[in-house]
Amino acid sequence: MPDIHALIPAAGAGMRMDAKIPKQYQELAGKPLIHYAIDLLCTHTRVRQVFVVLGPQDHHFRQFDWSAYRGCLEPLYCGGATRGASVRNGLMAMVDAVEPDDWVLVHDAARPCLTQALVDRLLEELFFDRVGGLLAVPVADTLKRADASQRVIETVARETLWQAQTPQMFRYRLLLEAMRHADAALLTDEASAIEKMGLKPRLVTGGASNLKVTYPDDWLIAKYYLKSISYD
């Protein structure tokens, strides 16, 4: 049976948060933002190892106590200029620790409210899938396409639209091949690299609580969700 590993790209600066330190190290409910992704994945019974891709000059990660995850957590100081480059570099760096058919869960450091139940659902629906897939939620709001002046050009049909989340789950060999052949600067998620190979990742229903902390208002929402799922 293939093993399950996780990869957390965390080499970004999080400039949209308008803060002095990278977003992943800012405090949320008493812990750095990245703690929640690491804790959730390192404590999941089916995840063998969690790799965190950091910037080569990152000096923040070592300032926190990660000893509780010794034996599971592996920092990789090989992050690139973009998310896609960081994921690709991380996959290459972990080659000796994984088998070609092992599963890799790529999860955003800025999604602190992922739950064990969502990971379980993802694994249950994709473990025997030929391609793999990702958590996502159907778009509920009415969508508008705008011009350069922020005037509405048209209303976009939402019936077949989904909002991508993470984790995104693919076989190691397939994902590495996809990331090597894709333009890392243009990728916003791993599924798009798989799609460029002519494959169709499966969508697994996620949840609204699995939000990505991007703007200052998201911070308050994340605090609410963390409290509701009993994080201390």
- For helices 172-181 and 83-93, the axis angle rounded to 10 degrees is 130
Residue owning tokens 């999941």: 44
**109, 34 in Cβ contact below 8 A?**
yes
Strands 27-28 and 31-32 turn out to be antiparallel
CATH number at residue 10: 3.90.550.10
Beta-carbon count within 10 A of 83 CB:
22
- Listed in sequence order, the residues at least 6 apart from 181 whose beta carbon sits closer than 8 Å to its beta carbon are 193, 196, 197
Strands 73-76 and 49-53 turn out to be parallel
Residue 52 bridge partners (DSSP): 8, 75
Q: What's the number of domains the chain is made of?
A: 1
How confident is the model at residue 19, as a pLDDT? 63
Beta-carbon count within 10 A of 46 CB:
12
Chunked in runs of 10, what are the mean pLDDT values of the chain (232 residues)? 97 65 94 98 97 96 96 97 95 98 98 97 98 96 94 93 97 97 88 97 97 92 86 43
Alpha-carbon distances of 199 from 81, 83, 138, rounded to whole Å = 27, 21, 20
Note down the domain range covering 161.
Answer: 4-228
Which tokens go with 190? 């791993």
Q: State the Cα–Cα distance between residues 189 and 166, nearest whole angstrom.
A: 9
Which tokens go with 224? 């609410």
Which tokens go with 216? 């200052």
How confident is the model at residue 87, as a pLDDT? 97
How confident is the model at residue 230, as a pLDDT? 58
Which tokens go with 103? 């599963």
Helices in 30-76 by DSSP H: which ranges?
Answer: 33-42
How confident is the model at residue 24, as a pLDDT? 96
